[in-house]
Structures are given as C-alpha cells and as structure tokens.
Structure 1
Amino acid sequence: MTNQEPTTPSFEQAMDQLERIVAQLESGDVPLEQAIELFQEGMKLSQLCGQKLEQVERKIEVLLEQDGGMVKKPFQPVE
C-alpha cells in the first residue's frame, strides 16, 4: 500500500471540474449539504486556477525581460 499525495489537476482539468460544479449548483437539484461541499471544492479550484495563471504571467514577464533587453511589463488582458 502506497501513500501518494493527490495529484494537482492541470489548469484545463481544474476549469472543467469547476464548470461541472457550477452547472450542478445552477441546476438547483442539489441538497444543501452537497451544495456546500461543491461550493467549497469550487472555491479551491478557483484559487488553484488563479495561482496557475499568476505563475504563467510571471514566466511571461521573465521571458520578456530576458529576450533582447525588452522592458518588463505586467500582463494586461484584452477586454
């Protein structure tokens, strides 16, 4: 028997899980206790996705900084 830590889902996997949770909660057919658990899981997935996006943003900034003396600029999403 091995004690393995649960693997962290990829960004795409976390987003898929989050979308399924939101759909379940929006359906309104979930008992209150299960809805609370789903909400908590959704919040964790949301935080995970946010952290992964921040990591990618920092990597992009570093790459820009290293590439030919380009000026480091914070990532600005297009609205």
Structure 2
Amino acid sequence: MKDDPGSPATFGQNLDELERIVRRLETDTHLPLEEALDLYERGLHLSKQCRERLTSARQRLTEIDASQEDADNLDDEPGDDGS
C-alpha cells in the first residue's frame, strides 16, 4: 500500500479502508462501543477525503473539457488564407 507513512493515501487506499471499516461495523456484533465510535469517526473522515478527491477530479475534467473546446473553436475559425 503506502510506502511512505508521511505521504497522503491515494483515493483507492482511502476507499479500501472505508470499505473495511463499513464491513467491520456491519458484521462485528461484539465490537466495543468506543471502538465502534472510533471506526465510525474514521469512516466519516475517509468519506470526506474521498468526496473531496472526487470533486477535485470532476473540476479537473471540466477544465480539461473546456480547454479542449477552446482549442477546437480556434481550429474552426477562418484562417488568414481568406476562407
């Protein structure tokens, strides 16, 4: 998984951990209350990080699409050859 403990986790790593937490909360009926609360809190944190990364990725895609549309529009403009 993460090689450098100081480096941020990837989206996939966060999602995997979130899925493990959800699975544990759903299946471990003998989980102590404090541990369940800690896992729930960690899950909320991971969920927020995943949403932020998805929002950032969506924004980046929007910018890429807009940039490509601008480039396509420049290609469609008449050139200096009188057309």
TM-score range for the pair, normalised by the shorter chain length:
0.7 to 0.9
Instruction: Show structure 1 runs of 5+ residues with no match.
Output: 71-79
Between Structure 1 and Structure 2, the one with more helix by share is 2
Instruction: Show structure 2 runs of 5+ residues with no match.
Output: 73-83
For residues 51 and 29 of structure 1, the distance between their equivalents in structure 2, rounded to whole angstroms, comes to 33
What percentage of residue pairs aligned between the two structures are identical? 30
RMSD: 1.8
Residue matched to 2:17 = 17
Q: Which has the higher contact order (CA 8 A, sep 6+)?
A: 2
User: How many residues in Structure 1 have an aligned counterpart in Structure 2?
Assistant: 67
Deviation at 1:12, TM superposition (A): 0.4
For residues 40 and 60 of structure 1, the distance between their equivalents in structure 2, rounded to whole angstroms, comes to 30
- Secondary structure of 1:68 counterpart: helix
TM-score by length of 2: 0.73
- Secondary structure of 2:22 counterpart: helix
Letter in 1 for 2:55: E
Letter in 2 for 1:55: S
Q: Quick check: which has more Rg, 1 or 2?
A: 2
Residue matched to 1:40 = 41
TM-score by length of 1: 0.77
Deviation at 1:30, TM superposition (A): 1.1
